[in-house]
Structure 1
Amino acid sequence: MMSWLSSTWLSCLFLLLVFVEVPAEKCIGDSSCAGSTTTNNDQHKPCVGARCPAKTSRTSRSYQHTASSDGFFQPGRGSHQQPSASSRVDISGTTADTWGGAPHLSSNATRDCKGIECKLPLRMRLKSRTRVSCTGEGCPPAEGQQSVVRLSDRAAHFIGEVPEFHYSNAELGGAPLGVQLTCDIKPGENEVPSEDALILQLQLAKGQEKFVESLKSQQKTITELQQKLSEQQNLLVSQQREILEQQRRMYDQMDMIKIQYSILLDTVKQMSFQSLQEDIQQYFEAHLQGLQNQVRNHLQKPYSVHKVDVDAKVIDVGLGIDLPDCGPCESDEFCSLQKTPPQCEKCTLCPAGFFQLSDCNENIDRICQDRDECMDSPNVCGERIKCLNTPGGFRCLGVAEKDAALGLCGDQYFFNKELQECQACSECEEGVVAFPCTADSDTICTTTSDTKLSESCSAMLSMPSAKMANSQIFPGLSLRVKEKIHCDVFSPEDSHVVFKQHGLLWIDLNFAVRHSCRNFLQLSLKHNNSEDGYELSGSRIEQPDGKFFQSTSISAAAEVEPSQTLTVVLKSPNQYCNQSKDLHVYDLNTPLSLFWLSHDTGAVAMTAQMSTAMHYQTNYRPTFRIISVSDPYMVSLSHDGRSIKFTESGVVKFVFQQALYAMGPTCVREGFTLISYINRNGSNSELMQVFKSGVNYRDTSVSGSGAAKVSSGDVISFEVLSPAQCNVRYFGENSGISMLSLIWIPTSISTAITASISTTGLPTGAVKNKFLSFNQDVPHDRIIQLIITGQFAHKYFRFTENGGVSVSFNLKLIHSCNVVKVSLNTRINDQGQPSIVAQQIGGQMPEGSQWTSVSLRSSFDVLNGTMLSVSLDCVRGRINQIAVEKGTNLSILWVSS
């Protein structure tokens, strides 16, 4: 700090020497001038000059300074002193007098000076300051001390006080004395002199400019860094995009590798089998050739044997070796040595998409090779789309199904929706083409020119095995389907049915279950063309406590195409239903039946959905909305949407299913009644009634199915009746639980009758396999006839022509049986015992209910002379009463085959 102060004082001295020009003056006067004699005459002459004594009328602006022990200057503790004349710096004397010799010091200068300070005038030397408690501009000046003057006013103030620094009068020939700089500090503060403050202020101003310039350069550098960072970020984002694109390409390549691996595995298996077959054939041929050589050698030897003809197939040379032999085979057959004993088999026909490598002969089957469409036609998928060869076809990777279905596969190929690839169209070898190959369907071949009009098939259902003890059916279980009799219409594949032909389909399903699931179980028929959540038909089974069996029958109509599927799904609305603990399905006889109708019959299928009732109500007439109809001209809705209108005469098979939620004890006691009406020439009449036991604070379904003849302009409508004090809400969802399905068939190939139960011979008490008696509502029908004489009177219906039959039976009764069993029986004329074709059961009556019901529906084929009957069984209980007038009825539909 002392060095800095010294340099500062040197700077001040340099400024004084350069900028202050002091002329030499002579002391004029008598006794006031040192070293001169005065006369009396000059006694009163004023003394002029720098060596004259100071005037007492002007006070000096010098302050006493003292140096602190640490090298900083601090104000002295004494008060402001009046300096003597000798304390003023004489800057007007000679140079030798001022700087050459010792300075002229007054007697009052008692302290010693050190260093450069000795060369300064007394008034510019540091003097001690007294410490005061208050410092700064806001404090009052001490006694006898003037307040500090601001830096901007310091020069003018100083020049006004010191006359020596005034410019001399020009008239007297005086020269300018220059400017004297003083360094001062504020009282009470440790500051440098004011001259240093000016210099520091200038340096700070320059430093501020440099600092601003540095800030600007740094800001520019920061901007450049930000730009570089933004560029790096953009580069990083682009690199990330490239990485994602590479990952996507890698995934595509992995998928392609998986597909190629599966194809390669299949090819290896096929080639392994072919190579094994070729090795076996070569082995036998070589073995036969060796035997032939041995025979020739033996014949050439001079033994007494007869010459024999050697056959390559059958040879016995007495060596104990029996060669395999198939015997004579047809021209299109070959001898298969893989079976024991060898058998003649048909030569393999190369499937579509394969070509023949070698022809079939008597010992070797035909060998086929897959055609590589991607190699034969490199642009089959386009220039930018990858082509992958598959057995019998090819696949365009990344092509949507809708684009492929529009004809992307090309000529003689169709898009297989199941395999999601293009397959070669099949060729009809022996038969004729029923339906040609299209962009999304294969060729349909028929073996005979006579096309069937109808066909009925049946199948068995079973629950899939529970994989674990805690198996939930909340997502839904697909029931297993097993074909009972071979059918040309469909083929079962594990959990679904695959259709083989185009046409219209009527489906009937009988189901009985005892469960402890909360709320209800829902049984549904799902078509593969259905949208998510959309099903053909569905019914809700309510029985939360699992005390007895609950049964339901559902039906549906649909238009089907080859390769489409049908699935039976059982699901619960929540996950509190365990398959192994809470579910027990009754094993019924042939629960699933399908009635197929060809398009050549001219039949029309329609499906409509009911609208949801927003408020609770009792009696309910639904409003329909058509979902699908194969011919809107023949079947349409009425103007209010509450009924179905028919344009031409025919026979109609219908099913009405309504899901509802009921509240009130009277719902259980009186139940619900579904009535179907037919309006003919403006007058309404009932077609049938179906009863359903009621529920309280539960979900359930009401369902009714029947068949009737209709005329041109007839209208069919439906109504659900419920007790007066029963609040019911009716649902109209798109899940099949509230649907109307029907098939209209021309009367030229079909007929239908309805029958009511007879009051005579009603079975009561402990009923075991008792046949029910009926009265035919229609007086006479040519094809379906009720037998009225003999031992089968009023119990059997006889069919006079071959065809398909769809039967619907509804029974309303009161009983105490553990299980009530209803069966459909058929027999041929009077011979043999009746056989059961369909069966349905009903459990115990719900507690508090007056009536209960059982419904049975089924379809099957009949021959000329087939007889049909309905039997009733009661297990551990008795039949108390059967409703005769309302709630019990039978309807039969017949269609020519």
Structure 2
Amino acid sequence: MAQQDGVITSRRGRAEESRSDMITMLSWWSCTWMSCLLFLSIGYGVPAERCTGGSSCTDSTVDNDQKRPCVGARCPAKASRTSYSYQQTATSDVPYPYQPGRTNHQVSAPASATSDSPGSPDAWGGHGNVTRDCKGIECKLPLRIRLKSRSRAPCTGEGCPPVEGQEGLVRLSDRAAHFIGEVPDHQFSNAELGGAPLGVQLTCDIKPGENEVPSEDALILQLQMAKGQEKFVESLKSQQKTITDLQQKLSEQQSLLVNQQREIIEQQRRMYEQMDMIKIQYSILFDTVKQMSFQSLQEDVQQYFEAHLQGLQNQVRNHLQKTYSVHKMDVDAKVIDVEDHLPECGVCESEEFCDFQKNPPACAKCTMCPAGFFQLSDCSENVDRICQDRDECMDSPGICGERIKCLNTPGGFRCLGVAEKDAALGICGDQYFFNKELQECQACSECEEGVVAFACTADSDTVCTTVSENKLSESWSASLSMPAPKTPNSQVYPGLNLKIKEKMNCEILSPEENRVVFKQHGLLWADLNFAVKHNCRNFLQLSLKLNNSEEGFEISGSRIEQPEGKYFQSTSVSCAAEVEPSQTLCVVLKSPNQFCNQSKDLHVYELNTPLSLFWLSHDTGAVAMSAQMSTAMHYQTNYRPTFKIISVSDPYMVSLSHDGRSIKLTESGVVKYVFQQALYSMGPTCVREGFNLIFYLNRNGTNSELLQVFKSGVNYRDTSISGSGATKVNSGDIISFEVLSPAQCNVRYFGENSGISMLSLLWIPTAISTAITASVSSSGLPTGAVRNKVLSFHLDLPNDKIIQLISTGQFAHKYFKIAENGGISVSFNLKLIHSCNVVKVTISTRISDQAQPTVVAQQIGGHMPEGSQWTSVALRSSFHVKNGTMLSVSLDCVRGRINQIAHDKGTNLSILWVSS
């Protein structure tokens, strides 16, 4: 056992020593590249290959006890690793020539070789302790650095026979020769190598006795590393050159950018200098304009006109001299004085002058100096009055305060930096008002005839009037049209002001493009008819908006539901209000969202006179009241709203009941009323049965039905129901309202301040007014294809002395005759069943039997909603009538037929008359 441990220790020592020697040899090999070339040049010979076949394949160079195992593809059994060695003689280091007759490419030692020769096993360490068999170029190495002999370990390297299922390894000699053949600088011809291929064998022991790596792999690796290093160096050089070029280009671009930045900075500096110069010039100009008064401009204008007038007079004199020079009587006769024959205007009245600018000259009214100007020269026979602007800033230096700068303007002045709310508090001073459009203080106007309708205030000018004192009422009508869309995708949200075009002149108001401006204070009743087909999402809202300067509110409104553009829908809006001079009224159409295109989703039907106004003077003693529904939301079948008064001109005459659900009237008279309620309905029964709005009159504790209006329902939609009428009332009467809906219909009622849920009424004394109500006659109801059929009526009450229903003749029960001049307001509600594409309702007037009727107002209705049993059409209008005017209502069905008209409930006519 001790001997075995000694052998193991000896083997380990030799392995460590062999490993050290091998590391030294590899270091020396890798460090001396030229030595490798020398070894390649001297190491030519014929390499010994592995045994490739035969049963007698043995190693003849070793003793029997150290026979190496046969290595090769054809060896019969496991063999030891065969090294590629060069067999040499004792006298020469040149290997034996190649024997071409041998098929196995082996080189055998000559017969003359002995065991003492360097190539014998004894000389190279077969059994001795000094040397061992050298392999390849190792034979040329000194003995001190050669590897010591070691015991043969089991074959584990490349020379071992392949395992079953594994291919044979490539021969290292062929790989080395192939690699060296790729290097042209180190390649030798076959003649130089003795006609034999070049072969080199190197062995590097990584783990002695276990893994023996051939040394030619290290050579190949070293050659590949050298070649790869050269290529890597060349690649680095090319990349370095590319980087250098890129850096140079980047430097050039940076210099170019720096130059551009310098130019931009220079341009900015020049621009700043120019802006400073402009500021200086502007300040100089502003000071100059500020210092220059209107007086110098007026003097220049005066001098120009005087010079122009003088030139015209000279031309006239020259012309007259040439004309009358032929009338000389003789040489001694005097020349005619041409000034006596100047063209004259004749005799002008007071406050007039002869205007020579006209052709021929004519008398003209002297100019009145406007507010804020003073008279510089009076009006003479041939010269107009000259006015000059008053410089308020110079006359009153502290008019705007100590720290606020004052700027003089024509007819007024401006306090720079003063807010509008501060100016409205009275900063403009006495006899001045703040003009919000010009944002400056203007002098209050003076009425020429001294008739002041509305005095000047801190934010409104004086309103003059020429209306006579006995004017009690006035009527006015106009047409409406959609404004031109600004863009192809012009939206109706948040609202469009419809264009207003008047059809007749009126002294109480003046229309503008999209609004009406009132000149006289009084009470107003407005009626609006509108028809549209739309594809907008959700509903459309039509409103009447009363606007006083900045603050405006909707005094009435109605919602048009969404039928997906299938048919025309009509709606009527009415309201009562108290108006003042300079207030405006406009018609607004809006959508609750942005999904409504004006040019694509709207198709407005052009009606005849859709807008009409009825004005009453305060001298009539009339009272106007407006109230809105409470904000409570109700989901119930029958709905009685609770009101909250917004405005009332006389709370003594019109007031609310104790529960806020009724209107109480103090004195007898005539009442014109309108009720409008916005709602949201849910359920199919809402569509089938619809809604009914009923007006009740409570007299002496007894309720009677005044009026009933029908509205077809919708499912999951917003809509509105509205009713209007007129009736006579007594002292203490109470008017109440109720909305009826089907039992299975869920309804949400809205109470808002936007005008969609409002109650408005006018109370007028009976001394100057009257009213009647009528129903459609049950006999002779128009059915079938109806073409402009005049409806027949019967009065609910006896005939009135002013409004009479004709009972005899061809117009019997069809025409109402007005006995006195005045203004009337008509409200007509129709409930019917039809299949017409369009149903037209028209109000016409005529003076005599022979005259053709004149259309006053018109309203239409489209298809009946799907699933509904009834539908309705409402028409309202106000206009002026004369004594003997006859009024009728006609019905027209376009492409369809009238099936039935409800004559007992839902169809009615009311007419209000007021003296003018």
TM-score (norm 2): 0.65
- Tell me, in whole angstroms, the C-alpha distance in 2 between the residues paired with 1:686 and 1:474: 40
Q: Which residue of 2 aligns with 1:61?
A: none
Q: CA deviation at 1:348?
A: 2.2
Aligned letter for 2:577? A
Q: By how many angstroms is 1:410 displaced?
A: 3.1
CA spacing shift, 1:798–1:280, aligned 2, 3 Å: farther
Aligned with residue 876 of structure 2, among 844, 849, 857 = 857
Looking at structure 2, the residues matched to 263 and 551 of structure 1 have their Cα atoms a distance apart, in angstroms, of 61
Whether 1:281 aligns to 2:300 is no
Give the equivalent residue in structure 1 for 2:827: 808
Cα offset, 1:440, TM superposition: 4.1
Q: 1:853 to 1:268 in 2, by over 3 A?
A: farther
Listed one character per residue, the Cα deviations across residues 833-887 of structure 1 (whole Å, up to 9, x for unaligned) are 1211111111111121111111111111112222211111112222221110001
| Contact kept? 1:288, 1:312, Cα under 8 Å | no
Measure the CA separation in 1 of the matches of 2:304 and 2:874.
Answer: 58
CA-CA distance at 1:338 after TM superposition: 5.5
**Which residue is 2:393 aligned to?**
374
The amino acid across from 1:790 in the alignment is G
Q: Does 1:670 align with 2:689?
A: yes
Instruction: Tell me if 1:735 matches 2:754.
Output: yes
Amino acid at match of 1:888: T
Aligned ranges 1:607-756 → 2 under 5 Å: 607-756=626-775
Matched, 1:518 2:546: no
Residue 862 of structure 2 corresponds to residue 834 of structure 1: no
Deviation at 1:611, TM superposition (A): 2.0
CA distance, structure 1, for counterparts of residue 911 and residue 547 of structure 2: 29
Residue 826 of structure 1, CA deviation? 1.4
Alignment of 1:844-883 (within 5 A): 844-883=863-902
Q: State the 1:312 CA deviation.
A: 6.5
CA contact (8 A) 2:691 2:711 kept: yes
CA–CA separation in structure 1 for the residues paired with 2:524 and 2:650 = 15
Q: Aligned pair 1:536/2:564, yes or no?
A: no
CA distance in 2, matches of 1:696, 1:828: 46
Please state if 1:453 is matched with 2:469.
no
Q: Given that residues 465 and 520 in structure 2 are in contact (C-alpha distance below 8 angstroms), is that contact kept between their aligned partners in structure 1?
A: no
In structure 1, distance between residues paired with 2:288 and 2:637: 63
- Output the CA distance in 2 between the equivalents of 1:896 and 1:258: 59
Residue 285 of structure 1: SS of its match in structure 2? helix
Q: Deviations over 1:359-410 (max 9, x none)?
A: 3445543332222222222223333333333332233344455554454433
In 1: Cα distance, 2:384 partner to 2:816 partner: 54
- Deviation track 1:104-137 (CA, whole Å, cap 9, x = no partner) reads xxxxxxxxxxxxxxxxxxxxxxxxxxxxxxxxxx
**Aligned counterparts, 1:123-272, within 5 A:** none
What CA deviation, in whole Å up to 9, does each residue of 1:165-187 have, x standing for no partner?
Answer: xxxxxxxxxxxxxxxxxxxxxxx
Is 1:383 the counterpart of 2:416? The answer is no
Aligned-pair CA distance for 1:601: 1.5
Letter in 1 for 2:604: V
Tell me the SS of whatever aligns to 2:853: strand
* 2:907 partner letter: T
Q: Which segments of 5 or more consecutive residues in structure 1 lack a partner in the other structure? A: 1-249, 316-324
Asked if the contact 1:518–1:544 (Cα under 8 Å) also holds between the matched residues in 2, the reply is no
Q: Distance in 2 between matches of 1:517 and 1:626?
A: 34
AA aligned opposite 2:816? F
d(CA) in 2 for partners of 1:261 and 1:815? 73
| Separation in 2, partners of 1:531, 1:598 | 26
After the TM superposition, which residues 332-347 of structure 1 pair with which residues of structure 2 at under 5 Å, given as runs? 332-336=351-355, 344-347=363-366
The SS at the match of 1:385 is coil
Taking a change above 3 Å as real, the CA distance of residues 290 and 340 of structure 1, as seen in their structure-2 partners, is: closer
1:488 to partner: Cα distance: 0.9
For 1:285-308, what per-residue CA distance to the aligned partner results, in whole angstroms no more than 9, with x for missing partners? Answer: 231233345457656684799986
Bigger CA drift: 758-767 or 637-646? 758-767
Change over 3 Å in CA distance of 1:276–1:449 after alignment to 2: same
Structure 1 pair 330–255 and aligned structure 2 pair: CA distance change class (3 A):
farther
Could you tell me whether the CA contact under 8 Å between 1:613 and 1:729 is conserved in 2? Answer: no
In structure 2, C-alpha distance between the alignment counterparts of 1:675 and 1:502, rounded to whole Å: 33
Which deviates more from structure 2 when the two are superposed, residues 528-537 or residues 780-789?
528-537
Q: Distance in 2 between matches of 1:825 and 1:532?
A: 39
Contact persistence 1:661–1:700 (CA under 8 A) = yes
State how 1:31-70 maps to structure 2 within 5 Å: none
Matching of residue 478 in structure 1 with residue 497 in structure 2: yes
Q: Distance in 1 between matches of 2:403 and 2:648?
A: 42
- Counterpart of 1:565, as a letter, is T
Question: Using a 3 Å threshold, how does the CA distance of structure 1 residues 682 and 412 change in structure 2: closer, same or farther?
Answer: same
The one-letter code of the counterpart of 1:491 is S
Aligned to 2:779, which of 760, 767, 770? 760
The Cα of 1:664 is off from its aligned counterpart by 1.0
Q: Counterparts of 1:1-16 in structure 2 under 5 Å? A: none
**3-state SS in 1 of match to 2:429:** coil
Mapped to 2, the partners of 1:797 and 1:583 lie a distance apart of 37
| Partner residue in 2 for 1:351 | 370
Q: How many residue pairs align between the two structures? A: 638
2:639 is paired with a residue of what secondary structure? coil
> Hey, what's the Cα distance between the residues in 2 that align with 1:254 and 1:382?
25
Q: Which residue of 2 aligns with 1:581?
A: 600
- Cα distance in 2 between the residues matched to 1:553 and 1:359: 57
Distance 2:866 2:552 in 1: 34
- Residue 613 of structure 2 is aligned with which of 586, 594, 600? 594
Match of 2:586, as an amino acid? T
- The residue identity in structure 2 corresponding to 1:562 is P
1:498 equivalent in alignment to 2:517: yes
SS of residue matched to 2:755: coil
Cα shift readout 1:151-205 (whole Å, capped 9, x = no counterpart): xxxxxxxxxxxxxxxxxxxxxxxxxxxxxxxxxxxxxxxxxxxxxxxxxxxxxxx
**Paired amino acid for 1:688:** L
Shift of the 466–709 alpha-carbon distance from structure 1 to 2, 3 Å rule, reads: same
Name the CA distance, whole Å, in 1 between partners of 2:637 and 2:522: 39
- Matched to 2:746, the amino acid is N
Amino acid of the residue matched to residue 485 of structure 1? M
Distance 1:685 1:272, change over 3 A: farther
Q: Which among 499, 522, 526 is matched to residue 507 of structure 1? A: 526
Q: Secondary structure at the match of 2:685?
A: helix
**CA deviations over 1:578-606 (Å, ceiling 9, x no partner):** 11111111111111111111111121111
Aligned to 2:12: none
Change (3 A) 1:726 1:895: same
| RMSD, matched Cα | 3.3
**CA–CA distance in structure 1, aligned partners of residues 903 and 296 of structure 2:** 70
Distance 2:318 2:492 in 1: 66
User: What's the offset of the Cα at 1:435?
Assistant: 4.1
After TM superposition, the structure 1 stretch with the greater mean CA deviation from structure 2, 723-732 or 257-266, is 257-266
Please point out which of 274, 288, 291 is paired with 2:319: 291
* Structure 1 letter corresponding to 2:496: L
Q: Which amino acid aligns with 1:718?
A: F
* Letter aligned with residue 428 of structure 1: C
Give ranges in structure 2 of 5+ residues lacking alignment: 1-277
Alignment check: 8 A CA contact 2:378 2:385 kept: yes
Q: What's the counterpart of residue 485 of structure 2?
A: 466
2:589 matches 1:548: no
Shift of the 761–304 alpha-carbon distance from structure 1 to 2, 3 Å rule, reads farther
Asked if the contact 2:530–2:571 (Cα under 8 Å) also holds between the matched residues in 1, the reply is yes
Instruction: Report what 2:191 is aligned to.
Output: none
CA 1:443–1:700 in structure 2 vs 1: closer, same or farther (change >3 Å)? same
